[in-house]
Amino acid sequence: MSAPRAAAAPLADALRQHVHALAGTIGERNVFRPQALAAAEDYIAGAWRARGHAVGLQRYTARGVDCANVELALRGAARPGEIVVVGAHYDSVDGSPGADDNASAVAVLLELARMLAARPLARTVKLVAFVNEEPPFFFWGQMGSGVYAKAARARGDDIRLMCSLEMLGCYSDAPGSQRYPPLLRHFYPDRGNFVAFVSNLRSRRALKAAVAAFRASSGFPCESAALPAWIPGVGWSDQLSFWRAGYPAIMVTDTAFHRYPYYHTASDTPEKLDYARMAQVAEGLAGVLRPARRRRAALSPTAWARSTSKSNSCLPWPPVTFCVEASQRGCRSHVAPPDTGSWGVERSGEILDRTVRRHGRRIRAPNAVSRP
């Protein structure tokens, strides 16, 4: 076993323990099973309190059930007024124990508290376990993250980034294990062995910074895309609530139903998950939240070259309204402004018929794409 994997073994065991507690011992947890929902809340708050943290509860009533968002705040040393929110919903959909969706992300959230507490943070980091993300609350007013984001906006919280953790436990090296919305399959790998960073177009600068920080601190494969929110899956988690409140927000995910065959089923159980790779993702996310100067000092020359490569960016310049970026094992492909020789969609709505190069072959972009 290599040194990095050996070091990650205790973290993988801790993640497994959290998932088994939430999706195994507690099981399905939502307003239709209020005792299980309360047990999940108690488990999360208890895990943080056991490490000496003060935990806040934002309580409200949904469908006659007492519910709560669970929050842990790690105060920043240099710029405490600037806030980064990292959230994961802890409820599961009706009829599913919710191991990948979303006990996997809650497990990572719980362990981030331990990993981040060891070092001073520049900005204040708020770790929040959201209630009521799943139907019948998704998109509507009693969604836990919606309640939280509205309250934050009313207080005038200076949230610089919200990072939604959504399903982080499924990875596969099998060819064809990864699927995509229309068109995107031309620009991304067909193996589901990576973690994805996704945002709407307005949050693309925040996405670029988060991806660069992840790559600077982790060798785990990652892909990123800044896309119109109407594309299926792009806004299907708690980041949507923060977009609505006017905050930049991204989602980190294993791509859910585009990869995981047990999505929203009774078969979404703890033994299906890859805890070793979950641990690597958790370590990379901790690197995103730590001060930049500490990350940079720890880089190998190869990792630093990768993190600063121009092709690693999620193209932030003004003429672009649709951009995606892909990378795997040194292969880079992206949708970009016209002067790069790639394919892009301009604000004018003009469709540019260009070609992009990926894995040594040429792929012709579609001749007609609707402007978002």
Kindly report, residue by residue over 32-54, the tens digit of the pLDDT: 999 999 999 999 999 999 999 99
- What percent of the chain shows pLDDT beyond 90? 71
- What percent of the chain shows pLDDT beyond 70? 76
8 A C-beta contact, residue 72 and residue 127 = yes
Nearest-CA neighbor of 109 among 93, 89, 91?
Answer: 89
Quick one: pLDDT at residue 108? 98
b/e string for 10-42 if b means 16 or more Cβ within 10 A?
ebbebbbbbbbbbbeebbbbbbebeebbbbbbe
Angle between helices 301-308 and 204-217 (to 10 degrees): 170
Q: Is the pLDDT of residue 322 over 90?
A: no
Contact partners, residue 167, CB within 8 Å, separation at least 6: 100, 101, 102, 104, 105, 253, 254, 255, 256, 260, 263
Quick one: pLDDT at residue 7? 57
Confidence of residue 6 (pLDDT cuts 50, 70, 90): low
pTM of the shown model: 0.80
* Mean pLDDT to the nearest integer, 225-238: 92
Q: Is the pLDDT of residue 19 over 80?
A: yes
Q: Phi first, then psi: give them for residue 138, nearest 5 degrees.
A: -55, 135
Q: Is the pLDDT of residue 147 over 80?
A: yes
The DSSP string of 135-195 is TTSTTSTT-HHHHHHHHHHHHT-EEEEEEEEE-------STT----STTGGGTS-SS--SE
Quick one: pLDDT at residue 2? 52
Mean pLDDT of the chain: 82
* Mean pLDDT to the nearest integer, 202-221: 97
Confidence of residue 335 (pLDDT cuts 50, 70, 90): very low
* Mean pLDDT to the nearest integer, 242-270: 97
Half-sphere exposure of 168 (CA within 13 A, CB side): 33
